[in-house]
Structure 1
Amino acid sequence: MAARVLLCTTMLVSLAAGAAAAQTADAGGSTLGEVVVTAQKREQNLQDVPISMEVVSGEKIEDFNTNDFKQLVSFAPNVAVQTTAGNDTIYIRGFGSPPANFSFDQAVSLYMDGVYAGRNRQAQSPFFDLARVEVLRGPQGALFGKNTPAGAVSIVSAGPTSEFEGEVNGLYNFSLRGYDVWGHVSGPISDTLGARLAVKVTDNKGFLRNLALDRREPQNEQALARLTLQWRPTDTIDYTLKVEYANRDVAGGVNVSSPVNTAQSPKRTRYSTQNPIGPEGTKATSWLISGTGNFELGDFTLTSVTGYSFFRSNIVNNFDQELPTGGFTANSVYNSYPEHFRQWSQEVRLLSPTGRRFEYIVGAYYDTSLYQLTQLGGFNIASLNYFGLLNTEFRQRAESFSVFGQGTFNVNDDLRLIGSLRYTTIDKRGAFWGRLRYGPFALRPVNTTANGEIKGEDNIDPSITAQYDITDQIMVYATYGRGSKSGGFVSNTYGTTDATFVYAPEKSENYEIGLKSTLLDGRMVLNLAAYDTSFKDLQVSVYNPTISTYQTSNAASASSKGVEGSISLFPVRNFDITLAAAYQNAEYDDYPGAACLASQPITVCNPAVPASIAANNIAGAPLQHASKWSGTLQVHQKIELDNDMMIDWRAAASGRSKFFNADNQAPTFGVQKGYTKIDFRVQYGPEDERWHVAFVGKNLTNELTSGSSFNLPAPITAVPRAILYLEEGRTVSLEAGLKF
């Protein structure tokens, strides 16, 4: 109920629409300062960009010690994150790529300093020493291009400063019983070379109690470092090199048991013993290198973006053995996912000068990658006298090339017509084999192999936008655009053969109208948008508990219609309020051959009978992880005290209505009820912020929510139960920092 009240209030205040923007006040603290973004590959004021998008400043991200995408949801309505065992997935407007099939390219693509990162372990802790995060809703097929049918998240890290500066911060989290320490040094090395070195170390003990090992979980140890060098030999040349290293070691898991025949009932304890495959948790190491050069050629600018990415990781999963009915069961099933990935990419863009009748951007992009995945699935099912180990191996080589362009025709001072087009060709080769390493003879038929090739898959993604300035402070736009995501291969489903190995590309289409306005001499910012997005051949992977495997395929079509909006108010000096909200209706329009839903009687769909599944169509069913309503409310104030001291506080509430987070959409354990989470930060220190102390509280109402769920069936477990992937409850921290 609280979530509904917050969301409805937010919608009314923000006129129930549009593209929310995380704004910052000017130096006087009483009007909107310019927010510069690069969503169209040029530096522009956010209010001039005809895209429904969120922009979150690096300062705001640091204020709440935001470490991962799950916490980004607090700033961005219509954005959701599915939490699983180390393979989280981002959804925008109800669309994303399920984490079950590890080789999926993502429908919401991540870009780190301009480098495409289609797998979440390429950037293990991306919210670290940032300038800003740009969240772009809807297809971004032209300028971002690589697999962005649902949207894109562009992360821009902080760069070197013109003068020497440094900062060190420390935070102790009483709830997680651990700490974060981070900081940077930045400044010029010479007249032409600047540098920035940022580091962060995390060590916490987790928010769950594992009764079997008598420890808190998940224990998280992480070390990150990023070195940035910026070279400006002349006024017409600059080159920025960024090298980022991350190492992460997580001990334990986040899944807990819950009844299968009632609503979700999450708890803060679990019982998880060691398994023969290895200790439960995640170990990952990654490198991300980017080089961006800008070369002025007269009035034109040539930009080169080179990227290299590497990660190696291993995820080991147990499932909570604590039974909802009391007591514990045997550790009957466990798995492991060692991964290895490397990618090289190159993009070149030519930007025309601005202020002319016709402005344009043209460019080309190339990348090549290698992905290897091993899956080990152990089982010890006493009731069947089964003990064994299944093993699959997957290897994929991929190569893509695209050319793109965007042109803006300035009809007059107020009207602009923007057209863009991207052509992409993709080649992929995949190989799979699966076998029973050891176990009962009856399971020997699971040995399978598959090979496939996607050759010359061509995608053409156009968009066209009309943008009109009603006044200098009010802009409206209308957009039509398409996006696409390449086809691929089933990477980790037992029993995969040539017949089930390849899935088709998915394509999206979006119609959108919007308004962006800065009113009352900058004291109010109101942004609105309405959209209609549809997908064809949506790539899906769902768990079928009856046959205990994942089914990966293409749903024929799905759509999402909705409105998004935000309003930022600066009523008095040093005080601002931002409200943002979204409504959406996301559902399958046509999905023949879908896995059975829990609400379907066995006479309609029998999950144990392939012919019954083949005849099943769940058109009209909602998409998973898609709430009807979502919203955020943020209030910020600086209170000036005597002796140039100040108190700076910020309160934030974020909420969403109920949604299905189980593949079979069970009306019991598969529904996460609506919720509201409240964060609060209060900081004390001098006005120049050369030092500070702060209290940071997140999820202060201690809402226990789950990112995803599924049914762990008999005979895998003695008592059928739901497994919930729990998200953090309330955390309370103290922070101190020093600038020099």
Structure 2
Amino acid sequence: MSSKKLLARHMAAVTAAAALLPGPAGADTGAFELEEIVVTAQKREQNLQDVGISVTAIDSQAMSRAGIEDVSRLELVTPGVSYGFIGSDAKIAIRGANSNNTFADNSSIAGFFIDGVYRPRASQQSQAYFDVERIEVLKGPQGTLYGRNTFAGAVNLYTRRPDTEALSGGLKTSFSRFSKFTTEAFINAPVNDELALRFAINTKDSDGWIENRGDGEDYGQDDALNYRASLLWTPADNLEVLVRYTSLSEEGITAGIFAAEGICQPVNENGITDAFGRFVNCDNPYPGSDGDSFFDEPYEVATDVDAKRDNEEENITLDIGWDIGDSLTLRSITSYTEFDSEFDWDGDWSNVPGYVFYWDEEVESVTQEVQLSSDNDGPFTWTAGLYYSVDDIGFGFSQYRVAPFPFSDFADFQEIETTTKGAFFQGEYALTDTLRLIAGVRNNEEEKDTKTFAGASTDAGGDPLPGVNPTSLDGRPRDLYRYTLREDRSAVREFDIVTWKAGAEWDATDNVMVYGNVSTGFLSGGVNSDGSPFEQQESKAFEVGFKSRWADNTLQLNVAAYRNEFTNLTTQELIQLGGADVTITVNGGEIDAQGLEVELVWLPTEKWLISAGASFMDSEFGKFGVANPFEQANGVEQAFLDLKGDTPPWSPDMTLSVSVGYDIDLGDMGRLTPFLQTYYSDEYSTDDVVTYRTQRQDAYSKTDLRLIWTSLSEKLSAEVFIENAEDEEVLARTNVGGFDLVQSSYLYPRNYGVKFNYNF
């Protein structure tokens, strides 16, 4: 295999599946066409129509036309996927499994990989996308090839590589509602036939999209500077070396730690909070809070604290590919990542000073993966590999509470060293020219060494530490407080599990492939800040489907049916620890989900593009219990809610998406493309405690409209757009905190603006 073939693995044309938005066949016609969809979902280059798993692939052009700048809009083009958030944590849900619990030592149910490197924290999943080649969303457990925390799926982000072909560059700018101004630029510079450099930069600046009617700043302000420098070296025909350095800096005023704002409590006829209450109370329940809290008004708050956010990440990745003869390829991916995140938050959710929350998160991660793959030719193809990583993770919740509130300097910080080892093998054997069998296995080992520290704002003699004042702190508790190791709340835990996959693929015709498989996955266990452990969660998925093209390659139809079994699932419980309300993780039960997903792309003529996606899902809790977060449940005091038979959060019975585009030829003036995208979702819950009414999201629709002009040379384009034209107020996530406060966030409201793009 030559270096050209190595390059082809990364540079192949990719188009979307469920929301496919093909590029024009040529500038002279502006016609759409269905191209070959190339993915590396199974760690080798394959045509998507030949891959026997559910994958939605979205290239950079499709991302632009769908308004995808980060993870928040993937659900609009990916059947079976839903999205929520708190603070920086992405709350991805896939086929009935949800990421409601990403606090402290918990992970997302979907693994997130950038250029093959896993990011361990949910807050790393919400960072800006820039200079991206494609995104692949893999649905169903990916425990064999990907390993830990791909319990329900994986999201693979691939950034653009340098190339030695020619000097090129580009600039994108956009200006939209809330004075949001973004830029993205890149330059690709060949040095010679063997060496090329690429540099990309992304900036973002905006006002807040949640109005603060108190003394603090509006929430949701952005101030970001991100860049990536890449070097590609091909010293021989069978060897390539790719180095990437990425720096991300995202600051501003956050949209919350646990939520952006409070919403109304469910209460019974006696005015007592009740998980089954038929009435609502929209007052702030925090003792000492004062003034209008606007809990009944989305996108409005009244707080005095500037909710500052500071997320920083640096990553360097070394990717080496070596062709060993004509039949084997060896690949090594080595990476080092540092990630730090800081949040400040108003502890009483009101405009009264004296109560501030703080959240700190930091990661130092080293990963190494080695893959050995056979060539695609021959009856037996396979991929084997070894994986090793060490993640030093720290996170902590702190508060400083003074008059008019009772004094509290609670601080709790955990440090966890997680060592992960994996060995995997997956093979495919062709019994005939049309029938293939697939099997894979992975051994996973994980050790977590957890240390818990308690903090205080005074020294051993009880005197205030430097920077601690009667009314405020000159800094943050993580830097100012005195921390003491709590041996009774520290532990070492080991986890191991074997995950596997078995399946078959049958080429019914040249353009129709039928497949079926069963696969398993897991989500890491861990240790809470009070020292109590929780066990790893496990998943098993059965899937059958077909992938097809019809009508002279103008119609693509992919269908998948699945049944998922999720066991030993965790939920959250609110406890008292050191005089503060603290959330811990407990194993709660199981979920069974089954469904059908349809992805269609149709080009009735060369000028029209019509795509659609649909998800039909029946998901319910099996044996599953959660701690009752309210004073009462159904009028009777109890500490446990049995959710058996209820529908888990972020699991709508049906979602539908339709996209329509039409190319208008303007001759020498280029072309004009009106584009419409609409999305519908049935109602769903936004909290594990699905019994109370105010966490319920009603059915809704969102419609985007775009008008895109492209020059004849395709070097210049301009766009006007409106997103969420209905201005739907969609709950992102809900949970219950201290004093039965219902905390929530909403997805982005209506947005509109203009974009400009220039390439050379």
Tell me whether the two structures share a fold, i.e. TM-score over 0.5: yes
Contact residue 81 and residue 91 of structure 1 kept, 8 A: yes
Match of 2:49, SS state, is helix
| Equivalent AA in structure 1 for residue 194 of structure 2 | T
| Equivalent AA in structure 1 for residue 522 of structure 2 | S
Closer/same/farther in 2, CA of residues 555 and 273 from structure 1, 3 Å limit: same
| Equivalent AA in structure 1 for residue 250 of structure 2 | R
Partner of 2:492: 453
Asked if residue 632 in structure 1 is aligned to residue 657 in structure 2, the reply is yes
Partner of 1:531: 562
Shift of 1:94: 2.3
| Equivalent AA in structure 1 for residue 583 of structure 2 | Y
1:557 & 1:480 partners in 2: Cα distance? Answer: 18
Q: How does 1:261-300 map to 2 (within 5 A)?
A: 261=266, 265-274=296-305, 279-298=306-325, 299-300=327-328
Shift of 1:150: 0.6
Partner of 2:477: none
Match of 1:386, SS state, is coil
Closer/same/farther in 2, CA of residues 177 and 545 from structure 1, 3 Å limit: farther
2:43 & 2:588 partners in 1: Cα distance? Answer: 33
1:247 to 222, 230, 249: 249
2:511 to 432, 457, 473: 473
| Equivalent AA in structure 2 for residue 601 of structure 1 | N
1:593 & 1:65 partners in 2: Cα distance? Answer: 37
Q: How does 1:160-199 map to 2 (within 5 A)?
A: 160-161=162-163, 162-173=165-176, 175-199=177-201
Shift of 1:215: 4.7
2:719 & 2:491 partners in 1: Cα distance? Answer: 55
2:450 to 392, 414, 430: 430
1:49 to 38, 48, 51: 51
Asked if residue 509 in structure 1 is aligned to residue 509 in structure 2, the reply is no
Partner of 2:289: none
| Equivalent AA in structure 2 for residue 460 of structure 1 | V
Match of 1:521, SS state, is coil
Contact residue 85 and residue 317 of structure 1 kept, 8 A: no
Shift of 1:575: 1.5
Worse overlay, 26-35 or 40-49? 26-35
Closer/same/farther in 2, CA of residues 647 and 37 from structure 1, 3 Å limit: same
Q: How does 1:94-243 map to 2 (within 5 A)?
A: 94-99=96-101, 101-122=103-124, 125-161=127-163, 162-173=165-176, 175-213=177-215, 215-243=217-245
Partner of 1:346: 368
Contact residue 626 and residue 688 of structure 2 kept, 8 A: no
1:292 & 1:525 partners in 2: Cα distance? Answer: 34
Give the superposed CA RMSD: 2.5
Contact residue 551 and residue 595 of structure 1 kept, 8 A: no
Contact residue 25 and residue 31 of structure 1 kept, 8 A: yes
1:234 & 1:586 partners in 2: Cα distance? Answer: 53
Bigger relative contact order (CA 8 A; separation at least 6): 1
Worse overlay, 335-344 or 262-271? 262-271
Percent of residue pairs bearing the same amino acid type: 23
Shift of 1:597: 8.0
Partner of 2:94: 92
Closer/same/farther in 2, CA of residues 381 and 725 from structure 1, 3 Å limit: farther
Shift of 1:248: 0.8
Worse overlay, 132-141 or 578-587? 578-587
Shift of 1:713: 5.8
1:558 & 1:196 partners in 2: Cα distance? Answer: 46
1:709 & 1:349 partners in 2: Cα distance? Answer: 41
Contact residue 574 and residue 583 of structure 2 kept, 8 A: yes
Contact residue 545 and residue 713 of structure 1 kept, 8 A: no
1:548-577 alpha-carbon deviations (Å, 9 max, x no partner): 442411123222111111111011113211
Closer/same/farther in 2, CA of residues 701 and 320 from structure 1, 3 Å limit: farther
Asked if residue 520 in structure 1 is aligned to residue 551 in structure 2, the reply is yes
What is the total number of aligned residue pairs between the two structures?
682
Asked if residue 606 in structure 1 is aligned to residue 628 in structure 2, the reply is no
Shift of 1:711: 4.2
Q: How does 1:392-411 map to 2 (within 5 A)?
A: 392-411=412-431
1:213 & 1:593 partners in 2: Cα distance? Answer: 37
Shift of 1:187: 3.5
Partner of 2:265: 260
Contact residue 195 and residue 229 of structure 1 kept, 8 A: yes
Partner of 2:339: 311
Partner of 1:335: 357
Asked if residue 578 in structure 1 is aligned to residue 611 in structure 2, the reply is yes
Contact residue 347 and residue 357 of structure 2 kept, 8 A: no
Asked if residue 554 in structure 1 is aligned to residue 587 in structure 2, the reply is yes
2:733 & 2:36 partners in 1: Cα distance? Answer: 38
Closer/same/farther in 2, CA of residues 317 and 691 from structure 1, 3 Å limit: same
1:34 & 1:598 partners in 2: Cα distance? Answer: 57
Q: TM-score, normalised by structure 2?
A: 0.85
Closer/same/farther in 2, CA of residues 654 and 318 from structure 1, 3 Å limit: farther
Contact residue 538 and residue 557 of structure 1 kept, 8 A: yes
Shift of 1:543: 5.0
Partner of 1:362: 384
1:606 & 1:381 partners in 2: Cα distance? Answer: 33
| Equivalent AA in structure 1 for residue 638 of structure 2 | N
1:711 & 1:209 partners in 2: Cα distance? Answer: 22
2:356 & 2:568 partners in 1: Cα distance? Answer: 32
Contact residue 594 and residue 617 of structure 1 kept, 8 A: no
1:393-424 alpha-carbon deviations (Å, 9 max, x no partner): 10100111111011111001100000001011
Match of 1:405, SS state, is strand
1:259 & 1:231 partners in 2: Cα distance? Answer: 58
Shift of 1:712: 5.3
1:545 & 1:372 partners in 2: Cα distance? Answer: 21
Shift of 1:664: 2.5
Partner of 1:682: 707
Partner of 2:8: none
Match of 2:552, SS state, is helix
Partner of 2:84: 82
1:503 & 1:721 partners in 2: Cα distance? Answer: 26
Worse overlay, 213-222 or 38-47? 213-222
Partner of 1:13: none
1:727 to 747, 751, 755: 747
2:348 & 2:204 partners in 1: Cα distance? Answer: 26
Shift of 1:163: 1.5
Match of 2:86, SS state, is coil
Contact residue 526 and residue 568 of structure 1 kept, 8 A: yes
1:220 & 1:388 partners in 2: Cα distance? Answer: 31
Shift of 1:331: 5.4
1:535 & 1:134 partners in 2: Cα distance? Answer: 23
Partner of 1:325: none
Match of 1:72, SS state, is helix
Worse overlay, 529-538 or 618-627? 618-627
1:728 & 1:381 partners in 2: Cα distance? Answer: 35
Match of 1:109, SS state, is strand
| Equivalent AA in structure 2 for residue 363 of structure 1 | G
Closer/same/farther in 2, CA of residues 100 and 164 from structure 1, 3 Å limit: closer
1:90 & 1:539 partners in 2: Cα distance? Answer: 15
Match of 2:88, SS state, is coil
Match of 1:572, SS state, is coil
| Equivalent AA in structure 2 for residue 511 of structure 1 | F
1:63 & 1:722 partners in 2: Cα distance? Answer: 36
Closer/same/farther in 2, CA of residues 597 and 509 from structure 1, 3 Å limit: farther
| Equivalent AA in structure 2 for residue 405 of structure 1 | F
